[in-house]
């Protein structure tokens, strides 16, 4: 199991990474067209729903929320690990994040953009979306600042804009490398424009470091608050199964969990497709897997806490909802979610599987299925077994329109991500160089001390 | 709503606890429903459809649970060993409870549902963007969403039926939430007509549609502040108070002999509808 070599030449790093930007293979076009087709299905469903009314999603009067809200939480959750890797681990000086944070950060941005679509799809009157934003108007009408949905709208806008900024700022030195190495076509123009005249002077580097650190510090509280606010949509309400104090940390843990699982999936794919074996090394994968395992156990713990607090409370209604989840119509999904979320990650505890690529790919995909189910199991059962008995004998299943839009969102995400990988370097070149440099320094220092010791011994 | 409200007294402006609230003056609309009198005939529901221009959604959509009955008759079966011909259902008419601290109001992102000075929970159709959070947070599930465009594309009222629509009520387009308003159009019209006489509405001058058609007079509607109103007297006789989350009489000896109660009172929405428990055997 090889880690990043310290004698790897800087020119080779440039060459290897820039190679990933060049002439896409046939398979790339096939996949991107498939992704667009899938997205097209989603668009088609949305157009139909927009014209006909939300009734085609097969929601009904007690069950007013469905897969749209569940998928919204899923995609917001997915966005958290990019920030964890790029901002939190940056502050903690965890070296190993360097080759993999760029695509994780891109994943953050794109999954946020996907989540935003679900807000729009969910609304009954999409064309009045701007009512939910605090824009100045002569009638002095404001949105309702008490509503968690409004906090949501603002938190997501802030998080999205700062994630884009963070992704972009962190990329500037790399864009300059691209500019200097690609001499023709629209790419040259694009990189020249985006690299903002970066020359790598001392002053530029100093300003760059300060800016990057500032945005990182700004982004961390945002990442935590965004999902806490999404959790507040539920925790602040009065409904059984939602009105739970531990929801914000539970949601944040779930978010990091699904995000880390997605990072493992994309790590494996990128490593294979772009032949990044020398940068995305197995020790790094191992660290990511261990991180995922730790987070999965935190999630399991918080999940059990939720069950326990409901079970031992005297809130009979919340208890009934829990029982209904475990034994009612949703039971297969609920048990599957618990199995996929808490039992399957135990595989990651075994050392031999921590670098076993096929196992990891399967497990990481399964974990995300589990986390998607978790979101659905938070949203749906409360509607079919709430406070009021009138709601109890109704069953509600999403229609094909609803499934189509959820399906389409995956196409949209894949499309964005694939375009990103071909236009921007998905491994941070300058930080890998830094990493290599630091390692070689460390080795040199070690050799020096050894030599000194031996010299001392000689005298 | 203005910037001043936003900066200085937002929470006060949006959320007044009924106890600290300025007393409703001169009106506080409330209801009392006698379930001993209710026969479950559904006339109230039909009257509501006619009065408030509710769309009749048809069999298929009804089966999907997309019906729009602002007032619904729920059936409950006592849990004993008897089956249907030997025992009848018990009926409960359910409509928006016009809560004083309504869970739906605080969660609406655009402030489309608000509390009026006369104690109603209003819904502004033009402002609603259809996030459906209000319905998700309503403990009674009495809010109904326009899943389709009933007046136009669904063609619920064909040309020959347009004449029967109530001109005092707007038709709701797709994507907005709606619910029982206590026939606010009748209340406002009544208020306007007595304004010229320089007085306030007397008991019985405004009736809700459901109250008007109820053959057994199970529904009483009126001004809770007016000591002469029937609804006031009923609430007083049952010793049900508006601004508490647990009735004092329930704790006292013999207090539970009284029939009046409010549904899900312990959640503290302070509903404006008092129900009177059924005591007679449910007939077939």
- pLDDT tens-digit readout, B219-238: 999 999 889 999 999 999 98
pLDDT of residue A332: 93
Residue A3 covered by a domain:
no
C-alpha A270/C-alpha A266 separation (Å) is: 6
Task: Indicate the burial class of A191 (C-beta count within 10 angstroms; 0-12, 13-18, 19 or more).
Answer: buried
Residue A453 covered by a domain:
no
Chain A contact set for B132 (CB, 8 A): 64-65, 124
Q: Among A52, A64, A240, A402, which would you mutate to test the B interface (most chain B Cβ atoms within 10 Å of its Cβ)?
A: A64
Interface contact A131-B10, CB threshold 8 A: no
Query: How far, CA to CA in Å, does A52 sit from each of A42, A246, B101, B223?
Result: 15, 39, 35, 41
Q: Among A144, A145, A401, which would you mutate to test the B interface (most chain B Cβ atoms within 10 Å of its Cβ)?
A: A144
Which residue ranges form the domains of chain B, and what is each CATH number? 16-276 (3.30.70.20)
Interface contact A60-B177, CB threshold 8 A: no
Task: List, as ranges, residues 94-123 from B with C-beta within 8 Å of A.
Answer: 94, 103, 106-111
Are A295 and A260 contacting, i.e. CB atoms less than 8 angstroms apart? Answer: yes
Interface contact A149-B107, CB threshold 8 A: yes
Task: Name the residue among A53, A60, A122 with its Cβ closest to that of B64.
Answer: A60
Q: Where are the alpha helices (DSSP H) in chain B?
A: 3-8, 10-14, 43-51, 59-63, 103-107, 133-137, 184-195, 209-213, 230-237, 248-251
Task: Name the residue among B6, B111, B174 with its Cβ closest to that of A53.
Answer: B174
Report the DSSP beta bridge partners of residue B29.
Answer: B223
C-alpha A417/C-alpha A426 separation (Å) is: 10
Q: Is B60 on the interface with A (CB under 8 A)?
A: no
Q: For A76-98, how does the pLDDT look when each residue is reduced to its tens digit (9 = 90+)? A: 988 887 787 778 777 877 778 88
Closest-CA residue of B relative to A49 is B148
pLDDT band for position B284 (cuts 50, 70, 90): low
Closest-CA residue of A relative to B103 is A238
Segment B159-181 shows an average pLDDT of 91
**How many separate domains does chain A show?**
1
Chain B contact set for A67 (CB, 8 A): none
Q: For A292-330, how does the pLDDT look when each residue is reduced to its tens digit (9 = 90+)? A: 999 999 999 999 999 998 888 888 889 999 998 899 888
Chain A contact set for B109 (CB, 8 A): 132, 143-144, 147, 149-150, 153
Interface contact B175-A54, CB threshold 8 A: yes
Segment B189-202 shows an average pLDDT of 90
Pairing of strands B29-34, B273-276: parallel
Are B271 and B263 contacting, i.e. CB atoms less than 8 angstroms apart? Answer: yes
- Helix or strand or coil: residue A97? helix
Q: Which residues contact A123 (CB under 8 A, 6 or more apart)?
A: A129, B129, B130, B131, B175
Tokens 């999904």, residue?
A: A333
Chain A contact set for B64 (CB, 8 A): 55, 58, 60
Q: Is B268 on the interface with A (CB under 8 A)?
A: no
Task: Name the residue among A58, A153, A390 with its Cβ closest to that of B74.
Answer: A390
Count of other CB atoms within 10 angstroms of residue B96 = 25
Going across the sheet that includes B260-261, the strands are B219-223, B29-34, B273-276, B260-261
C-alpha B103/C-alpha B270 separation (Å) is: 10
Q: How many CB pairs lie under 8 A apart between chains A and B?
A: 149
- Helix or strand or coil: residue A227? helix
In Å, how far from its chain's centre is CA B267?
Answer: 17
- Full residue range of the structural domain in which residue A397 is found: 10-135+143-446
Are A401 and A72 contacting, i.e. CB atoms less than 8 angstroms apart? Answer: no
DSSP one-letter code for A241: T
Count of other CB atoms within 10 angstroms of residue A218 = 14
Residue A452 covered by a domain:
no
Closest-CA residue of A relative to B140 is A388
Are A368 and A266 contacting, i.e. CB atoms less than 8 angstroms apart? Answer: no
C-alpha B111/C-alpha B122 separation (Å) is: 10
| Nearest-CA distance A408 → chain B (Å) | 21
Chain A contact set for B264 (CB, 8 A): 387-388
Q: Which is higher by pLDDT, B256 or B89?
A: B89
Task: Indicate the burial class of B148 (C-beta count within 10 angstroms; 0-12, 13-18, 19 or more).
Answer: buried
Closest-CA residue of A relative to B10 is A145
Report the DSSP beta bridge partners of residue B73.
Answer: B93
- Helix or strand or coil: residue B29? strand
Residue A170 covered by a domain:
yes
Interface contact A128-B107, CB threshold 8 A: no
pLDDT of residue B177: 94
Chain A contact set for B140 (CB, 8 A): 387-388
Task: Name the residue among A64, A147, A389 with its Cβ closest to that of B107.
Answer: A147
Task: Name the residue among A62, A150, A238 with its Cβ closest to that of B109.
Answer: A150
**Helix (H), strand (E) counts: chain B:** 10, 10
Q: Is B17 on the interface with A (CB under 8 A)?
A: no
Residue A90 covered by a domain:
yes
Q: For B15-48, how does the pLDDT look when each residue is reduced to its tens digit (9 = 90+)? A: 555 545 555 778 889 999 999 999 889 999 999 9
Interface contact B176-A63, CB threshold 8 A: no
Closest Cα partner for B38 from B190, B181, B211, B225? B211
| Nearest-CA distance B180 → chain A (Å) | 14
Q: For the residues of chain B, what is the DSSP string, one character each?
A: --HHHHHHSHHHHH---TTTSPPP-S--EEEEEETTT-----HHHHHHHHHTT-----HHHHHTT----SSEEEEE--SSS--TTTS--EEEEE-----TT-HHHHH-TT--EEE-TTS-EEE-TTT-----HHHHH-SS---EE--S-TTTTS-SS-GGGGGGS-TTSPPP-TT-EE---SSHHHHHHHHHHHHTTT--PPTTSS--HHHHH-TT--EEEEESS-TTSHHHHHHHHTT--TT-SS-HHHHSTTGGGS-EE-TTGGG----SEEEE---SPPP-
Q: Is B137 on the interface with A (CB under 8 A)?
A: yes
Interface contact B145-A54, CB threshold 8 A: yes
| Nearest-CA distance A146 → chain B (Å) | 6
Closest-CA residue of B relative to A237 is B137
Are A53 and B148 contacting, i.e. CB atoms less than 8 angstroms apart? Answer: yes
C-alpha B56/C-alpha B54 separation (Å) is: 6
What stretches in chain A show pLDDT beneath 50? none
pLDDT band for position B12 (cuts 50, 70, 90): low
Chain B contact set for A53 (CB, 8 A): 146-149, 153, 174-175
Query: How far, CA to CA in Å, does A168 sit from each of A164, A385, B224?
Result: 6, 46, 62
Interface contact B135-A64, CB threshold 8 A: yes
Q: Is B124 on the interface with A (CB under 8 A)?
A: no
Residue A458 covered by a domain:
no
Tokens 């989840």, residue?
A: A325
C-alpha A71/C-alpha A341 separation (Å) is: 17
Q: For B68-124, how does the pLDDT look when each residue is reduced to its tens digit (9 = 90+)? A: 999 999 988 877 777 777 777 889 999 999 998 889 988 999 989 988 888 899 999
Residue A253 covered by a domain:
yes
CATH assignment of the domain containing A19: 1.20.1630.10
pLDDT of residue B19: 47
- Helix or strand or coil: residue A148? helix
Q: What is the pTM of this model?
A: 0.90
Run of H or E residues at B122: strand B121-123
C-alpha B75/C-alpha B93 separation (Å) is: 9
Res. B149: pLDDT tops 70: yes
C-alpha A352/C-alpha A366 separation (Å) is: 19
Residue A451 covered by a domain:
no
């Amino acid at each position: 199991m090889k880690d990043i070599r310290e004698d790897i030449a800087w020119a080779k790093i440039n060459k290897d990474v820039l190679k990933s930007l060049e002439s896409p293979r046939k398979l790339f076009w096939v996949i991107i067209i498939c992704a667009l087709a899938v997205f097209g299905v989603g668009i088609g469903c949305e157009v139909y729903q927009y014209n006909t009314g939300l009734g085609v999603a097969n929601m009904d009067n007690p069950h007013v929320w469905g897969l749209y809200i569940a998928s919204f939480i899923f995609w917001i959750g997915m966005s958290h690990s990019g920030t964890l890797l790029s901002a939190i681990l940056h502050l903690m000086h965890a070296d190993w994040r360097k080759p993999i944070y760029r695509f994780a950060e891109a994943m953050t941005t794109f999954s946020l953009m996907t989540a935003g679509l679900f807000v729009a799809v969910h609304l009954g009157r999409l064309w009045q979306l701007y009512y939910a934003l605090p824009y100045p108007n002569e009638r002095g009408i404001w949105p309702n600042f008490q509503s968690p949905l409004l906090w949501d709208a603002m938190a997501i806008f802030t998080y999205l804009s700062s994630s884009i900024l963070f992704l972009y700022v962190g990329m500037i030195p790399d864009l300059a490398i691209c500019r200097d190495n690609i001499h023709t076509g629209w790419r040259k123009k694009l990189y020249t424009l985006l690299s903002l005249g970066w020359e790598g002077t001392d002053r530029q580097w100093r300003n760059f470091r300060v800016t990057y650190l500032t945005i990182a510090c700004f982004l961390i509280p945002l990442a935590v608050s965004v999902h806490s606010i999404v959790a507040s949509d539920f925790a602040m309400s009065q409904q059984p199964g939602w009105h739970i104090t531990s929801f914000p940390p539970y949601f944040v843990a779930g978010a990091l969990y699904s995000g880390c699982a997605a990072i493992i999936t994309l790590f494996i794919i990128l490593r294979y497709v772009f032949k990044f074996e020398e940068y995305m090394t197995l020790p790094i994968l191992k660290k990511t897997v261990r991180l995922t395992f730790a987070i999965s156990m935190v999630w399991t713990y918080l999940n059990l806490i939720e069950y326990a607090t409901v079970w031992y409370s005297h809130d009979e209604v919340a208890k009934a909802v829990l029982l209904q989840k475990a034994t009612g119509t949703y039971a297969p999904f609920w048990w599957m979610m618990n199995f996929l979320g808490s039992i399957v990650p135990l595989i990651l505890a075994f050392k031999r599987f921590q670098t076993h690529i096929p196992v990891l790919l399967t497990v990481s995909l399964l974990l995300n299925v589990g986390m998607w189910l978790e979101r659905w199991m938070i949203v749906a059962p409360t509607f079919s077994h709430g406070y009021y008995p009138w709601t109890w004998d109704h069953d509600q299943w999403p229609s094909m329109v609803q499934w189509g839009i959820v399906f389409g969102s995956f196409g949209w995400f894949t499309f964005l991500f694939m375009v990103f990988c071909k236009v921007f370097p998905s491994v941070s070149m300058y930080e890998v160089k830094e990493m290599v440099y630091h390692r070689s320094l460390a080795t040199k220092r070690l050799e020096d001390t050894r030599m000194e010791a031996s010299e001392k011994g000689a005298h | 709503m203005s910037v001043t409200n936003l900066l200085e007294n937002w929470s006060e402006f949006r959320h007044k606890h009924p106890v600290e609230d300025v007393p409703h003056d001169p009106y506080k609309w409330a209801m009392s429903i006698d379930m001993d009198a209710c026969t479950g005939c559904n006339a109230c529901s039909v009257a509501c459809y006619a009065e408030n221009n509710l769309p009749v959604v048809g069999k298929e959509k009804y089966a999907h649970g997309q019906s729009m009955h602002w007032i619904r008759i729920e059936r409950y079966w006592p849990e004993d060993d008897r089956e249907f011909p030997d025992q009848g259902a018990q009926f409960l008419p359910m409509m928006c409870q016009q809560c004083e601290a309504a869970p739906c109001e605080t969660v609406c992102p655009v402030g489309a549902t608000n509390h009026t000075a006369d104690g109603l929970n209003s819904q502004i159709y033009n402002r609603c963007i259809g996030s459906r959070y209000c319905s998700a947070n309503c403990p009674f599930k009495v809010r109904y969403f326009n899943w389709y465009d009933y007046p136009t594309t669904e063609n619920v009222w064909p040309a020959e039926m347009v004449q029967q629509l109530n001109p005092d009520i707007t038709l709701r387009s797709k994507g907005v939430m709606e619910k029982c308003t206590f026939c606010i159009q009748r209340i406002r019209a009544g208020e306007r007509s007595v304004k010229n006489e320089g007085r306030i509405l007397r008991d019985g001058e405004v009736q809700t549609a459901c109250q008007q058609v109820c053959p057994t007079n199970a529904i009483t509607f009126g001004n809770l502040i007016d000591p002469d109103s029937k609804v006031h007297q009923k609430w007083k006789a049952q010793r049900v108070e508006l601004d508490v989350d647990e009735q004092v009489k329930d704790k006292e000896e013999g207090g539970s002999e009284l029939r009046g109660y409010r549904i899900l009172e312990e959640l503290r929405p302070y509903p404006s509808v008092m129900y009177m428990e059924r005591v007679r055997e449910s007939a077939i």
